[in-house]
């Protein structure tokens, strides 16, 4: 076969390969050209019959044909494999805009979200979580917390008493007492939990609500430590620019006592609806543990000092998420809950 003929055969072979519809035809074409009884071995044999002067050119052309056929087969095989792997993707009928199929998205209740975030922040500062019962004795809820016997907060108008004289805790502070009774200093705890007050439900009152309590007792704890810690918490919880300020206040179980304001995260302190145009939001009650509380748990107030603070979880959630009615937390409307998928 002359070189020209070989070139013509090559062109025909490549066309044939490119048109192959499936793997099976490719296998047949491979046998036709490269197989033991195929064209290429036949050509090689024919070369010997050619005049010596034509042999080099025809040999080169035969080799070219072999390589080209091999490449074409590989290429076509890859094309067919790709088409097989993504049949629908290749098709215009594929609809990527259909709804996805996986199970639904869950969500934490916003109260849980706030508790978990707060605990996580205090965890990073070496606080661990302590818990206590919802049903408390007057001793843990009031007496040990230095609350005078005739203090208004003990009034049955404000506190749910049980018929056996116990009560539903009005604050998470009894956890402080239980923990200190069971552990020698130092202590560094946070206590999230459910509390109860005998309020008529309205936009800011609910029969039960949640608090998180903090307590740090060691040698040399100061009010500056309290302020530094709450300032850190404020930035982590509400945003990097948030500041804290203290206002003197009165609580039976701390002395000095303060109310703690955070600068408004929503307006940066300029004043808006959330902060009632004051730039500040009351978040916590806090102070230095009263020596009478130390006396109740057998700590030596001359050796140890400590701070305690308490914050309302619902209040924090309302401020952070812009919610203006506490009752929505307990209505559990899915259209409310699904906004907190975190």
Partner 1 sequence: MRVPLSWLKDYVEFDDTPGNLAERLTFSGTEVEAVETVGGEYPGLVAAEVLESKPHPHAPGLTVCRVNSGTATLQVVCGAPEVLPGHCYAYAPPGTALPDGTAVATRTLKGIDSHGMLLAEDELGLSPDHSTLLDLGPASPGTPLAEILGPPETVFHLEITPNRPDCLSIIGIAREVAALYGTELRLPGFDLTESARAVEDAVRVSVADPSDCPRYTARVVENVRIRPAPLQMRRRLALCGIRPINNIVDVTNYVLLECGQPLHAFDLELLEGRRLAVRRAGTREAITTLDGEQRDLPAGILTICDDSGPVAVAGVMGGANSQIRSATRTVVIESAFFAPALIRSAARALGLSTESSYRFERGVDPAGVEWASRRAAALIKDLAGGEILRGVLDIYPHPVGPRHVSCRWEAITNLLGVKAGPDEIAGRLAALGLEITERTPRGCTVSVPSRRRDIEREVDLAEEFARLHGLDRIPEPPPRSLVVPDADDTHTRATFALRARLVGLGLREVNNYSLVSPRLLDTFRADDPSSRIILPHPVSHDQSVLRTTLIPQMVVTLGRNHARQAAAHAALFEIGRTFSPGKEEDRLVLGLMGPAGRPPLDRRRAVTIPEMFLWLKGILEALLPANNPSRPWGLSPADIPFLTPGTAMQILVHGQSAGTAGILAPNIAAEWRFAGPVAVAEITLEPLLEDFRRIPSFSPPAQYPAIQRDVAVIVNESVKHEDVLRVIRAAAPKELASVELFDIFKGEAIGSGKKSMAYSLQYRSAQRTLTDEEANAFHAAVIEALRRELAAVVRES
**Is the alpha carbon torsion for 220, 142, 255, 313 positive or negative?**
positive
Q: Which residue is associated with the tokens 């309290």?
A: 226
Calpha distance 138→144 (Å, rounded) = 9
**Is the alpha carbon torsion for 313, 316, 320, 323 positive or negative?**
positive
- State the residue number with the nearest CB to Zn ion: 264
Using alpha carbons only, what angle is made at residue 282 by residues 209 and 285, rounded to the nearest 5 degrees? 70
What are 92's two structure tokens?
A: 């215009």
> Which entry of Zn ion, partner 1, none binds 173, CB below 5 to 8 A by partner kind?
none
Residue from 21, 97, 200, 298 in contact with partner 1 (CB under 8 A): 200
CB 63 within 8 A of CB 44: no
> Which entry of partner 1, Zn ion, none binds 258, CB below 5 to 8 A by partner kind?
partner 1
CB 9 within 8 A of CB 2: no
Residue from 7, 15, 131, 325 in contact with partner 1 (CB under 8 A): 131
Calpha distance 320→111 (Å, rounded) = 11
Q: Which residues contact 189 (CB under 8 A, 6 or more apart)?
A: 127, 128, 129, 130, 175, 176, 179, 214, 215
Three-state secondary-structure class, residue 259? strand
Q: How far apart are the first and last CA of the chain?
A: 77
Q: Which of residues 216-245 bind partner 1 (CB under 8 A)?
A: 216, 218, 220, 222-225, 227-229, 231-232, 244-245
Smallest distance from partner 1 to CB 109, Å: 4
Residue from 59, 198, 239, 267 in contact with partner 1 (CB under 8 A): 198
Q: Which one of the spans 26-34, 45-53, 77-85, 100-108 is the region binding partner 1 (CB under 8 A)?
A: 100-108
Smallest distance from partner 1 to CB 87, Å: 21
Residue from 30, 32, 77, 109 in contact with partner 1 (CB under 8 A): 109
Strands 187-196 and 208-218: antiparallel
Residues found near Zn ion in the complex (CB under 5 A) = 264, 266-267, 272, 274-275
Q: Which one of the spans 37-45, 57-65, 196-204, 318-326 is the region binding partner 1 (CB under 8 A)?
A: 196-204
> Which entry of Zn ion, partner 1, none binds 97, CB below 5 to 8 A by partner kind?
none
Going residue by residue from 275 to 314, which x/- string records binding to partner 1, judged by CB under 8 A? -------------x-xx-------------x---------
Total residues found in the chain within this entry: 342
Smallest distance from partner 1 to CB 286, Å: 11
Residue from 247, 270, 273, 276 in contact with partner 1 (CB under 8 A): 247
What are 268's two structure tokens?
A: 């940066």
If the CB atoms of residues 252 and 279 are measured against Zn ion, the closer one turns out to be 279
The beta-carbon contacts of 289-292 under 8 Å, at least 24 apart in sequence, are 289/176, 289/215, 289/217, 289/253, 289/254, 290/146, 290/252, 290/253, 290/254, 290/255, 291/255, 292/146
Smallest distance from partner 1 to CB 90, Å: 23
If the CB atoms of residues 228 and 322 are measured against partner 1, the closer one turns out to be 228
If the CB atoms of residues 264 and 293 are measured against partner 1, the closer one turns out to be 293
Q: Does 99 bind partner 1 (CB under 8 A)?
A: yes
> Which entry of Zn ion, partner 1, none binds 272, CB below 5 to 8 A by partner kind?
Zn ion
If the CB atoms of residues 154 and 315 are measured against Zn ion, the closer one turns out to be 315
Q: Which residues contact 243 (CB under 8 A, 6 or more apart)?
A: 231, 234, 262, 263, 269
Calpha distance 294→339 (Å, rounded) = 44
Q: Which of residues 149-188 bind partner 1 (CB under 8 A)?
A: 149-152, 155-156, 160-163, 168, 183, 186-188
């Amino acid at each position: 076969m002359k070189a020209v003929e070989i070139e013509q055969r090559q062109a025909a072979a490549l066309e044939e390969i490119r048109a192959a519809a499936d793997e099976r035809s490719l296998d047949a074409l491979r046998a036709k050209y490269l197989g033991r009884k195929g064209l290429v071995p036949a050509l090689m044999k024919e070369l010997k019959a050619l005049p010596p002067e034509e042999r080099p050119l025809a040999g080169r052309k035969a080799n070219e044909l072999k390589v080209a056929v091999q490449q074409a087969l590989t290429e076509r095989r890859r094309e067919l494999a790709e088409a097989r792997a993504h049949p629908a993707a290749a098709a215009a009928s594929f609809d990527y805009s259909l709804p996805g199929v996986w199970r639904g998205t869950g969500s934490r209740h916003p109260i849980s979200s706030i508790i978990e975030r707060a605990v996580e922040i205090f965890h990073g500062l070496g606080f661990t979580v302590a818990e206590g019962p919802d049903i408390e004795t007057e001793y843990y809820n009031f007496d040990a917390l230095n609350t005078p016997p005739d203090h208004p907060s003990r009034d049955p108008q404000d506190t749910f008493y049980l018929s056996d004289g116990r009560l539903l805790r009005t604050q998470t502070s009894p956890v402080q007492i239980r923990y200190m009774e069971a552990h020698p200093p130092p202590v560094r705890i946070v206590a999230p939990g459910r509390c109860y007050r005998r309020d008529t439900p309205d936009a800011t009152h609910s029969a039960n609500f949640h608090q998180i309590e903090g307590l740090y007792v060691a040698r040399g704890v100061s009010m500056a430590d309290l302020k530094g810690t709450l300032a850190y918490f404020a930035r982590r919880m509400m945003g990097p620019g948030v500041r804290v300020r203290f206002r003197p206040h009165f609580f039976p179980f701390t002395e000095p006592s303060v109310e703690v304001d955070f600068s408004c995260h929503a307006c940066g302190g300029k004043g808006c609806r959330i902060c009632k145009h004051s730039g500040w939001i009351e978040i916590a009650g806090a102070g230095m543990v009263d020596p009478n509380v130390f006396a109740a748990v057998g700590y030596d107030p001359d050796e140890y000092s400590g701070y305690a603070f308490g914050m309302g979880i619902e209040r924090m959630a309302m401020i952070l998420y812009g919610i203006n009615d506490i009752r929505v937390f307990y209505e559990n409307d899915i259209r409310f809950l699904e906004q907190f998928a975190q």
